[in-house]
């Protein structure tokens, strides 16, 4: 079986492996158009494809083969737009959060990109009937393997949040295969190395340190074994699976097993052999200089006969010829390795600014953590040493938020079931409107400055300048799924289910004007705002009068500002 594709979407194509795959496909299949979707986070670099861009700029725009979109694979609206417009016949997903250490402190980003992003992509693949979907996974989902190798049917035992998110994505793809018969494949790779690799990884770090004369770091004893595959070989494996593998297949793509210490010793051996070649060249030069110093008025042969050194001369010549023949192949290989090392050094130099920027971001995040700690310390001080009461209140708030979030997700599912049972049809609106007259946002979606961020991520925007009693209007036409109102200071809200998997939540209301299980139209007054600390409907965490406004897509909170005019 040999499939053929004309329009390929590569997600995460500006990263290390993704950019090498685009270059591989671009050079191998001259009739194929490639579309690169990448958010350009810390691991994505447009310079990785500068050579392709230079070639494309020389072509007539109508005949260009490589196109770039900057965007998020979790953005359903963006995916719908490009899938419908460009009619992709294959989707290959490299996009992922992949830094293991970051997964320990920012697991939400990994779940969002590696799980929700894959769900968005494979759902678009199903909806638009794409011929093939390839999910690029990792051998880390198998966990530690004491001996031998993992096969494709080995149990998944991820040992860190990154690996767990990739395992979850694999299971999600397999569920779409079983439930919807989506023509999908999974390719699980081992450790890749090669051009354009992020400089913090083991091999590029070792090369740059050797070039600069810096000690190469070895973690532990250096005996930890890992399998390595060159990125070009991995791209070849993906290409083979893409064009020849039957639907629903899973493949492991692995390379040679080496310890970290063996990797470092390989780099040092290259340097040692290069030094030996330089020494032999110097020896050959010394022999020729000795001949040149003799009487130039006599022939070289006469000089050698008179000096009685003819035999020694030919002996030297034979030795040098033997040496030259023996070193010829090594010299060729080492010169090529030297060129590659110099190219990688130039690439690493170009990326020093990126590392500097990353350091600045780390410093900035450290300062934010310090501010968060200061906020908590102030709260602890205000309790005048009553730590147990503070912890009890904190647990109650967290439990309340978790229950509200769970109730909202369950309610949305039940509401959509009711709509289906009643054959309810929602009016078609031209996007959402602002629910109140004010446009003053006092807290943003996942706001790093949110004062209660150490309790939970802020899933909404807070709209200020909304004193108690401000009319709240429906952002869009929909079905009222829930009205939570007790008439006291407990958290009060209402939820409206809209078309296309969207729903909105309006929190801190002081008086509802609509009831559950009814339809509302866009712009209709549905409640009055509350929000004053200790007032009706305010809840435990209100800091000032405001409206808490959420937008959810298929039950998951998303940034409301992306949906408001």
Residues whose CB is less than 8 angstroms from the CB of residue 533 and which lie 6 or more positions away in sequence, other chains included? 542, 543, 544
Q: Active site residue: 97, 116, 139, 170, which one?
A: 139
C-beta of residue 512 within 8 angstroms of C-beta of residue 470: no
pLDDT band for position 536 (50/70/90)?
confident
Q: State the average pLDDT over residues 365-381.
A: 69
What are the structural domains of the chain? 7-197+218-254 (3.40.50.720), 265-350 (no CATH), 386-562 (2.70.70.10)
pLDDT band for position 304 (50/70/90)?
very low
Query: 140 catalytic, yes or no?
Result: yes
Q: Is the pLDDT confidence value at 222 over 90?
A: no
- Residue 422 is predicted with a pLDDT of 60
- CA nearest 505: which of 514, 497, 515? 497
DSSP state of 561: G
C-beta of residue 218 within 8 angstroms of C-beta of residue 260: yes
- Residue 361 is predicted with a pLDDT of 78
Q: Is the pLDDT confidence value at 544 over 90?
A: no
Among the ranges given (80-89, 267-276, 440-449), the one the predictor scored with the smallest mean pLDDT: 267-276
Among 172-181, 349-358, 516-525, the range with the most confident prediction by mean pLDDT is 172-181
- Residue 412 is predicted with a pLDDT of 67
- Tokens 């006969």 belong to which residue? 305
Helices 352-382 & 310-350 angle (0-180, nearest 10) = 40
Q: State the average pLDDT over residues 392-406.
A: 66
Pairing of strands 556-558, 547-553: antiparallel
Q: Active site residue: 142, 162, 193, 491, which one?
A: 162
Show the tokens assigned to 124. 């678009």
Helices 387-421 & 352-382 angle (0-180, nearest 10) = 110
- Residue 35 is predicted with a pLDDT of 98
- Residue 161 is predicted with a pLDDT of 94
Distance CA 135, CA 251 (A): 11
Distance CA 540, CA 166 (A): 37
- Residue 306 is predicted with a pLDDT of 42
Among the ranges given (199-208, 253-262, 305-314), the one the predictor scored with the smallest mean pLDDT: 305-314
pLDDT band for position 313 (50/70/90)?
very low
Q: Is the pLDDT confidence value at 294 over 50?
A: no
- Residue 260 is predicted with a pLDDT of 46
Give percent above pLDDT 90 in the chain: 46
- Residue 39 is predicted with a pLDDT of 95
Q: State the average pLDDT over residues 420-447.
A: 83
Q: What spatial distance separates the first Cα and last Cα of the chain, rounded to whole Å? A: 50
Q: Look at residue 157 and give its three-state secondary structure.
A: coil
Q: Residue ranges of the alpha helices (H) in 97-186?
A: 100-103, 107-111, 117-127, 161-180
C-beta of residue 539 within 8 angstroms of C-beta of residue 533: no
Q: Active site residue: 97, 123, 140, 550, which one?
A: 140
Distance CA 530, CA 545 (A): 7
Distance CA 138, CA 163 (A): 8
Q: Is the pLDDT confidence value at 284 over 80?
A: no
- Long-range contacts, 401-408 (Cβ 8 Å, 24+): 401/455, 401/456, 404/491, 404/493, 405/459, 407/482, 407/484, 408/482, 408/495, 408/503, 408/505, 408/552, 408/555
C-beta of residue 104 within 8 angstroms of C-beta of residue 160: yes
Q: pLDDT for 442-457, tens place per residue?
A: 899 998 888 777 677 8
Among the ranges given (72-86, 273-287, 483-497, 499-513), the one the predictor scored with the smallest mean pLDDT: 273-287
DSSP state of 225: E
Q: Is the pLDDT confidence value at 70 over 70?
A: yes
Q: Is the pLDDT confidence value at 22 over 90?
A: yes
Q: pLDDT for 111-121, tens place per residue?
A: 999 999 999 99
- Residue 362 is predicted with a pLDDT of 77
Distance CA 380, CA 89 (A): 58
pLDDT band for position 406 (50/70/90)?
low
26 versus 394: the higher-pLDDT residue is: 26
pLDDT band for position 331 (50/70/90)?
low
DSSP E strand boundaries for 440-492: 441-443, 461-463, 471-473, 478-484
Distance CA 509, CA 512 (A): 7
Show the tokens assigned to 470. 């401000």
Longest Cα–Cα distance of the chain, Å, equals 120
Is the pTM above the cut of 0.85? no
pLDDT band for position 320 (50/70/90)?
low
Q: Is the pLDDT confidence value at 23 over 50?
A: yes
Q: Is the pLDDT confidence value at 95 over 90?
A: yes
> Rounded mean pLDDT of the chain?
80
- Residue 375 is predicted with a pLDDT of 67
Cα-to-chain-centroid distance, residue 203: 21
Query: 295 catalytic, yes or no?
Result: no
* Per-residue CA distances from 290 to 155, 221, 283, 313, 320 (Å): 71, 50, 11, 11, 15
Q: Is the pLDDT confidence value at 219 over 60?
A: no
DSSP state of 378: H
Please list, residue by residue across 17-26, b when 16 or more beta carbons sit within 10 angstroms of its beta carbon and e when fewer do.
bbbbbbbbbb
Q: pLDDT for 40-65, tens place per residue?
A: 988 789 999 999 999 999 999 999 99
Query: 513 catalytic, yes or no?
Result: no
Torsion angle (degrees, nearest 10) of CA 492, 493, 494, 496 = -170
C-beta of residue 49 within 8 angstroms of C-beta of residue 23: yes
- Residue 288 is predicted with a pLDDT of 43
């Amino acid at each position: 079986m040999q499939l053929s594709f004309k329009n390929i979407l590569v997600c995460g194509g500006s990263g290390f492996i993704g950019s090498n795959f685009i270059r591989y496909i671009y050079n191998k299949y001259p009739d194929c158009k490639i579309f690169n979707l990448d958010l350009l986070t810390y691991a994505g670099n447009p310079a990785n494809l500068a050579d392709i861009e230079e070639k494309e700029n020389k072509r007539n725009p109508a005949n260009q083969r490589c196109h770039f979109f900057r965007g998020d694979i979790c953005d359903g609206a963006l995916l719908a737009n490009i899938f419908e417009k460009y009619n992709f016949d294959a989707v290959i997903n490299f996009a992922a959060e992949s830094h293991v250490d970051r997964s320990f402190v920012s697991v939400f980003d990994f779940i969002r990109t590696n799980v929700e992003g894959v769900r968005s992509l494979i759902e678009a693949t199903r909806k638009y009937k794409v011929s093939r979907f390839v999910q690029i996974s990792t051998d880390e989902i198998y966990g530690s393997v004491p001996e031998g190798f993992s096969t494709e049917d080995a149990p998944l035992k991820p040992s860190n949040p990154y690996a767990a998110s990739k395992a979850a994505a694999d299971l999600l793809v397999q569920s779409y295969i079983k439930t919807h018969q989506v023509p999908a494949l999974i390719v699980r790779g081992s450790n890749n190395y090669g051009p354009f690799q992020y400089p913090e990884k083991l091999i590029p770090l070792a090369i740059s340190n050797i070039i600069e004369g810096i000690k190469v770091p070895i973690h532990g004893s250096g005996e930890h074994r890992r399998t390595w595959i060159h990125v070009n070989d991995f791209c070849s494996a993906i290409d083979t699976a893409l064009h020849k593998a039957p639907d629903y297949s899973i493949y492991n793509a692995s390379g040679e097993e080496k310890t970290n210490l063996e990797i470092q010793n390989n780099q040092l051996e290259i340097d040692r052999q290069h030094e030996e070649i330089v020494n032999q060249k110097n020896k050959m030069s010394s022999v020729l200089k000795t001949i040149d110093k003799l009487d130039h008025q006599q022939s070289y042969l006469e000089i050698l006969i008179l000096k009685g050194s003819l035999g020694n001369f030919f002996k030297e010549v034979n030795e040098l010829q033997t040496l030259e023949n023996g070193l010829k192949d090594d010299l060729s290989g080492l010169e090529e390795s030297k060129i590659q090392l110099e190219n990688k050094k130039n690439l690493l130099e170009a990326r020093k600014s990126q590392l500097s920027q990353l350091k600045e971001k780390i410093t900035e995040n450290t300062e934010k953590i310090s501010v968060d700690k200061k906020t908590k310390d102030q709260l602890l001080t205000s309790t005048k040493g009553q730590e147990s009461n503070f912890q009890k209140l904190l647990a109650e708030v967290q439990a309340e938020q978790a229950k509200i979030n769970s109730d909202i997700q369950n309610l949305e599912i039940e509401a959509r079931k009711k709509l289906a049972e009643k054959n309810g049809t929602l009016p078609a609106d031209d996007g959402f409107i602002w629910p109140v007259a004010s446009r003053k946002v006092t807290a943003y979606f996942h706001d790093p400055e949110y004062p209660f961020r150490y309790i939970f991520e802020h899933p909404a925007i807070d709209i200020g300048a909304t004193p108690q009693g401000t009319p709240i209007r429906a952002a869009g036409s929909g079905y009222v799924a829930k009205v939570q109102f007790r008439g006291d200071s407990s958290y009060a809200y209402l939820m409206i289910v809209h078309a296309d998997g969207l729903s909105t939540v309006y929190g801190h209301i002081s008086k509802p004007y609509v009831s559950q299980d009814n339809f509302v139209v866009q712009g209709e007054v549905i409640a009055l705002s509350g929000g004053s600390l200790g007032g009706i409907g305010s809840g435990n965490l209100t800091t000032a009068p405001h409206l808490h406004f959420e937008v959810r897509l298929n039950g998951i909170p998303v940034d409301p500002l992306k949906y408001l005019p």
